[in-house]
Structure 1
């Protein structure tokens, strides 16, 4: 029996992982179709004009872009809520997620797919971004919020990959390490991982 939701996802991508983490946090079952973004299947080409992943299908509804998909999932499956109630806090988290997409994710992808020179430059820029963010991790239990939110679902996949990307935590980065361990110990996080992502590092004990 097919599930109501189908997710087209690559096996190792921070934006796809972001969506899978939201689905895991909500306890939603879905059919996962893993694809090579460089060689998208006909089904995906027919559904999504950009042929991009993640792409979520629910009956006649087709959604793409991780920000659109995750906001939909949080509203479609309201428990547990992954955004605060008040508009100011919601706006602050949305802005943080936008900055992650525009500033952090391109560096991750450059490290993964660029030339050696491009990867080395991206590694330095990502390290600078991580270092500058340390005070944000010290301020709250989760990323800019007292409870887990959609912003964590965007940030945690990046933190999970830092070691494999060759980006060490700064000397005062224990707050980031502690943050990651809080999320990585959650069974939902483990469920969100593909086998390829699971092999990127060890889960905390």
Structure 2
């Protein structure tokens, strides 16, 4: 096996991936010095399969450490670079945020993954995602960010998902001003704009 230990930090990710874009938002919010490497998800490089046999994206290399799975990477970056904080500090709030991240990841993000990559007939999944997001309008309305007065890891996970919805024909912004306003707050952040790969830039629209 090739030696991939590095002197710094490297993020290896596809050029179109909600999980990878979420991670890049965290990196940019914290202004972490890092090398970004992109690849075509349909043709992952051989070296990536040595590092990450299941090709789960993204892959983070930090010297001798190799991590994959978005929530593990985001929490690692939060602890490694604690400022600015993107998670609550007290144990109860931190645990609650972890539960929300798991729900967003397992429910909404997984539905979007199915629509994008795994469904021959995506309409039922589109309907489920639309209905689920609209049922959560009170959560989007409650505070400036998702259940928080400050920007958190949860928002990093939601922003790439919301960005892709209009061009997929998922009309939540037409049906909810609260979700639309929340999305616009996320899309206006420099970290969101900087997190978009050239391919991802074409998947959404800043003029909602």
Shared topology, TM-score over 0.5? yes
Pick from 8, 15, 19 the counterpart of residue 11 of structure 1: 15
Task: State yes or no: 1:114 paired with 2:110.
Answer: no
User: Superposition pairs for residues 37-186 of structure 1, below 5 Å?
Assistant: 37-117=41-121, 119-169=122-172, 173-186=176-189
Partners of 1:161 and 1:171 in 2: CA distance: 14
Aligned-residue RMSD, C-alpha? 1.8
| Contiguous gaps of at least 5 residues in structure 2 | 1-5
Cα contact 2:159–2:192 (8 A) shared by 1: no
Aligned length: 203
Q: Is the 8 A contact 2:166 2:204 kept in 1?
A: yes
Change (3 A) 1:162 1:58: same
Q: Give, in whole Å, the separation in 2 of the partners of 1:171 and 1:184.
A: 17
How far does residue 124 in structure 1 lie from its aligned partner after superposition?
Answer: 0.5
* Distance in 2 separating the partners of 1:67 and 1:167: 25
**Is the Cα contact below 8 Å between 1:8 and 1:55 reproduced in 2?**
yes
Deviation at 1:193, TM superposition (A): 0.6
Could you tell me how far 1:172 is from its partner in structure 2?
5.2
Q: Is the 8 A contact 2:173 2:179 kept in 1?
A: no
TM-score scaled by length of structure 2: 0.91
**1:114 CA drift (Å):** 3.4
2: CA distance, partners of 1:115 / 1:81:
37
SS at match of 2:172: coil
Contact 2:173 2:180 in 1 (8 A): no
1:194 matched to which residue of 2?
Answer: 197
Give the C-alpha shift of residue 184 in structure 1: 0.9
- How far off its partner does 1:203 sit? 2.1
Aligned residue in 1 for 2:3 = none
